[in-house]
Chains A and B, each alone.
Chain A
Amino acid sequence: MSTREKVLWYVAGAAIVVYALFPVAWILSLSLKTNAGLTENQFLPSEVTWDNYRLIITGDASELFLPALRNSIGIALIATLIAVVLATLTAYAVSRLQFPGKKLLLTTALAVAIFPVISIVTPLFNIWRTIGLYDTWPGLIIPYLAVTLPLAIWTLSAFFREIPWDMEQAAQVDGATTWQAFIKVIVPLAVPGVFTTAIIAFFLAWNDFVFGISLTSTDASRPVPAALAFFTGASQFEEPTGATSAAAVIVTIPVVIIVLVFQRRIVAGLTNGAVKG
């Protein structure tokens, strides 16, 4: 490759990095601005302050932000856990066992995945109010399963299909019990796929907004994305820009860390389920 070509690729690569990070850098910059700095219409803060973070962690806005953060973490983790357990059972059966209805199951998962979630908001709102699930954790966990399960089932099925299942028989021939063979041979091969699926499912649940604002009304269950939308300023005339930005940065940190650590796996998971299938 010539030097000129090399430079060209680096420029193109740099453009991608800027494209991906620009809005993130901007919201970070906003969160560090002083009240006066927020209206200066500059990209970078002229003066850096931690006041916005103080406001949402210990200050007035903490009553809104901290319960929402707790709800988001709890609800997203539980939904992810349930989805991954159910999807693991399903994907194991799909890739390993012969049984009727396989096609029906995969078609159902496909149909649920392309389903407009807003369409079930109306009936769920109605049902949840009747049976008392409105504004509760299970009231969000259950609809999150509808969002995470289809994707988890495909992603995991794609992973599981690549596992050489005969290896456990080989281990049995070598003297392992069936259970030992399964635990020692198959499980280590399956764990990375399960873990990747969990990350992707968690992102989906963490990202939800439609259910978050429709099926909750108080800080008993309202997750962060919904709480962000309801932030108010110190007075009616003040925009809550700084506080919102600081909260946005805090909920983005875990996402960025997960991406940095597991980028290879996440890409494999996303494309496995979708393209290779």
Chain B
Amino acid sequence: MSATRPTTSGSSRAGADATGDGRDAVDPRPSGEQERRARRAGGKPPLTDRARGERNLGLLLVAPAFLVMIGVVAYPMLLAAYDSLFSYRLTAPDQRSFVGLQNYITILSDPLWWRAFATTGYITVITVAVELVLGFALAMVMHKAITTLRPVLRTAILIPYAIITVVSAFAWFYAFDLNSGFVNQWLPFVGDDFNWFAERSSSLVVIMLSEIWKTTPFISLLLLAGLAQVPEDLQEAARVDGATFWERLRKVTLPNMKAAIMVALLFRTLDAVRIFDNVFIMTAGTNGTETLAFLAYRQTIQRQEVGLGSAISVLLFLLVVLIAVLFVKVFKVDLSRQRGE
């Protein structure tokens, strides 16, 4: 045993700190907790060798992930902001010229942008609202379900979550499609030859159904975890006091799950704003079903208008930031408590 314990040579082995080695070199007793306490109590004591080693190791370990995230997201985003100030088509790269904010003016004064904006907003509000109600109902059933049933439900609900969005989009598309679909035969109030994809509102209905089917499980799992955190004795007390199911839901359950609901809402909203796959597969943006993400894709990849496409990307990014800030400020979602620290 003594052979494995560093004695005086401990401090020179900072590299071995990766596994907490050398910890005993400074102090025979575990010192991490003491140090932390000392740091909290007395401002900034000089760093011990061990603390410095720990700090360097920590920075070293997080550096790769941090650099990748910055490199893959922040750098391209800055480049997009730069490119958005130019009139720049890939098909005519020589004619690239600085145009200032002209691209933004062009976009924001174009009805195409506002229609895509409205479509995205429409899809986001409806799907998130439906998913919240439906997801809560599913979570309640799973929460209360008989123990033998619970793993079955959990498995079933995970399948839509795990399936590729494109596959889900095809399934819903073919179900409503005139050539292959069965839905018209099953629905008494539409004719057998009703073409769902011939107009905007009915196309959007199918797009939203697919989106709702695919993403409700995520919400319901988050809400299920939230439900598990509602203190059971509070429920019991309310029940003893004669509160009805709805009263308990409103006064006990929901207030205690506010954090879980807000996080689910925020993440689903931001997710819905970038809706793309379903639209691409089902309508390819025809009949006024184009969303903002689709508009950005079409400008850049199909029309190769890098300047305009970049400007749309920046606007979409600002929109997402705005939504996140609104959630955090208005609804007081404490993300640092929910996620991470």
Chain A interface residues toward B at CB < 8 A: 1, 6, 9-10, 12-13, 16-17, 19-21, 23-24, 26-27, 30, 38-39, 41-43, 86-87, 89-90, 92-94, 97-103, 105-112, 114-127, 129, 142-143, 145-146, 149-150, 153-154, 157, 166, 168-169, 172, 175-179, 181-182, 203, 206-207, 209-210, 213-214, 224-225, 228-229, 239, 241, 244-245, 248, 251-252, 255-256, 258-260, 263-264, 266-267, 270-271, 273-277
Contact = CB atoms under 8 A, between A and B. Distances in A.
A118 B316 contact: yes
B330 interface: no
Given A20-B160, A97-B55, A245-B170, 11 more contacts: A23-B168, A26-B182, A39-B179, A118-B274, A119-B316, A122-B313, A123-B83, A207-B165, A209-B164, A259-B158, A264-B151
Given A42-B185, A275-B263, A122 B69 contact: no
Interface in B61-117: 61-62, 64-66, 68-70, 72-73, 76-77, 79-80, 83, 90
Contacts of B35: 98
B158 A86 contact: no
A119 to B, nearest CB: 4
A276 B263 CA distance: 11
Given A98-B54, A241-B174, A267-B154, A120 B80 contact: yes
B163 A255 contact: yes
Interface residues of B, number: 120
B10 to A, nearest CB: 11
The prevalent SS among residues of B at the interface is: helix
A59 B248 CA distance: 60
A140 B131 CA distance: 31
Contact of A126 (B83, B164, B266): B83
A197 B20 CA distance: 24
B50 to A, nearest CB: 10
B204 interface: no
Nearest to B140: A12
A151 B328 CA distance: 20
Contacts of B319: 116
A248 B20 contact: no
| Most chain B C-beta atoms within 10 Å of own C-beta, residue among A23, A26, A172, A210 | A23
Given A106-B339, A255-B162, A43 B182 contact: yes
A263 B155 contact: yes
Question: Which 4 A-B residue pairings sit nearest by Cβ, starting from the closest?
Answer: A99-B58, A106-B340, A123-B76, A271-B225
A258 B153 CA distance: 15
B62 A89 contact: yes
28 contacts: A9-B145, A12-B145, A13-B145, A16-B138, A20-B159, A23-B171, A98-B32, A99-B58, A100-B59, A116-B317, A118-B293, A123-B76, A146-B72, A146-B73, A149-B68, A154-B339, A166-B30, A172-B4, A176-B4, A178-B19, A179-B21, A214-B297, A224-B164, A241-B180, A255-B164, A258-B162, A264-B151, A275-B259
Contacts of A23: 160, 168, 171-172, 175, 213
A109 B338 CA distance: 13
B59 A99 contact: yes
A30 B65 contact: no
Contacts of A127: 76, 79
A125 B338 CA distance: 34
A207 B213 contact: no
Interface stretch (B121-129, B239-247, B276-284): B276-284
Contacts of A126: 79, 83, 90, 306
